[in-house]
Chains A and B, each alone.
Chain A
Amino acid sequence: MNLIVVMAASLALPCLMLAQMPGPESGAAKAKGAAQADSHNLSGMWNFYNNTPGQGIYATPSKDAPPMTDWAKARYAAAKPGYGPKAQAGGNDPILRCYPAGIPRILFFPQPFEIVQTPDRVFMFFEREHEFRQIWTDGRSHPKDVEPTWMGDSIGKWEGDTFVVDTVGLTEKSWLDFYGDPHSDDIHLIERYKRTAPDSLTLQLTVEDPKAYTKTWVGDTKIYKLLAGKKAYMEELPCIFDEENSFTDRIRMPAVTGPDKN
């Protein structure tokens, strides 16, 4: 009995210590400090929420893309997506061949990601592809010449209660979204995350890519909801080429080509 009491007390001690850490002096300032500290906490498993038309899952930054340059028009013309205004069966979406979705497209999947914050980085772990990205929060700038990658080079900082992520170095091999909209590897992506409620995270993203779009593409607000309790579960979800092909042969194509005529 004594041992249990001692163990329980020692487990409770760290919680007591945190509660008694020094804070701002006045009650109002203390409350504000606490609120601000809480709002800098993005951790949790987040799942894409909005199913409304125009910004549903399998999304695009916003319903209306800015005008494309000739470079982008040619890329878009060659794309055969499975979603959006040019949707078609089969197609040449690189994810059908298990190419990484990349940033920002992986953020539009209906599969959760988990945010983990460490002293110098914010990590996002994605169920899709079992992929992750790291966002440096130690005040560094982007390296001078960034070799383009799928997840890019990201730096982040807080502006009030909004976490602003700045990303460059994204390979143009990925599609920007599910609709086949292209981006160049000069893209400069800004994401603004805000935890608007304990179980709600919003994202507003901005695409600056003069090689592809004649204007900045300001995205609409995406909403993610917290997965809690039994639902706080993330699978390992790699893209398996054979399973993709099998699914295309057994489901995608039969659905559009019609019944067997024998």
Chain B
Amino acid sequence: MVCSPSFAHHGNAAYDEKNPITVKGTVTEFAWENPHVQVYFDAKDEKGNIVHWSVETLSPGKLVRCGWSKDAVKPGDSVAVTLDPAKTGAPVGFLRKFVFANGKELGLKEQ
């Protein structure tokens, strides 16, 4: 409950919360900062072109309470990111689930 991002985020509904998608890619940057931690990662689209994705999540304090740390994610990590995508079609989203290629998940729920 404490960590769950089930609340309506940002209020202005920039993200499509009803249609999350999962994107697989490689991390390029992990911004462990306020107001929200961000993960930047590259993924290939159906045509094989590289798309630069950005996903935002909770504040560092909340993530620590979910079991993350500032070193939890590194450039080069292979990840499967489930996110609520921006309604405009921009490669930006709000994080719902974060799983490494080896199956390890970084939780966003109360442990």
Contacts and interface: CB of A to CB of B under 8 A. Distances in A.
Given A240-B33, A255-B92, A87 B11 contact: yes
A256 interface: yes
B65 A258 contact: no
Interface string A197-233: 0000000000000000000000000000101001101
A251 B12 contact: no
Contacts of B10: 82-83, 87
A240 B55 CA distance: 20
Given A239-B34, A256-B12, 14 more contacts: A49-B1, A51-B1, A58-B7, A87-B11, A89-B12, A178-B11, A227-B65, A231-B110, A250-B38, A250-B54, A251-B54, A254-B54, A255-B90, A259-B88
Interface in B79-97: 86, 88-92
A243 interface: yes
A57 interface: yes
B59 A235 contact: yes
Interface string A48-71: 010101001110000000000000
B35 A247 contact: yes
7 contacts: A81-B11, A82-B10, A82-B11, A84-B11, A88-B12, A235-B60, A235-B64
Give the most central of A49, A110, A239: most B CB within 10 Å.
A110
A251 B36 contact: yes
B12 A110 contact: no
A234 interface: yes
Nearest to B38: A251
Given A111-B59, A225-B1, A231-B2, A255 B34 contact: no
Contacts of A250: 38, 54
Contacts of A47: 2
B17 interface: no
Contacts of A235: 59-61, 64
Interface in A74-129: 81-84, 87-89, 110-112, 127
**What are the 10 tightest A-B residue pairs by CB atom distance, in nearest-first order?**
A235-B61, A83-B11, A87-B12, A258-B88, A255-B86, A255-B92, A51-B7, A255-B14, A87-B11, A259-B90
Interface string B26-66: 00000101111010000000000000001010011110110
Contacts of A110: 7, 62
Given A83-B10, A87-B13, A111-B59, A237 B34 contact: yes
B58 to A, nearest CB: 8
Nearest to B111: A230
B32 to A, nearest CB: 10
A61 B62 CA distance: 24
A239 B12 CA distance: 21
Interface string A242-262: 011011001110111111000
Interface residues of A, number: 43
A21 B33 CA distance: 49
B11 A255 contact: no
A238 interface: yes
Contact of B90 (A111, A227, A233, A254): A254
Nearest to A85: B11
A119 B23 CA distance: 55
Given A83-B11, A110-B62, A256-B88, A240 B2 contact: no
Contacts of B8: 53, 56, 58
B60 A237 contact: yes
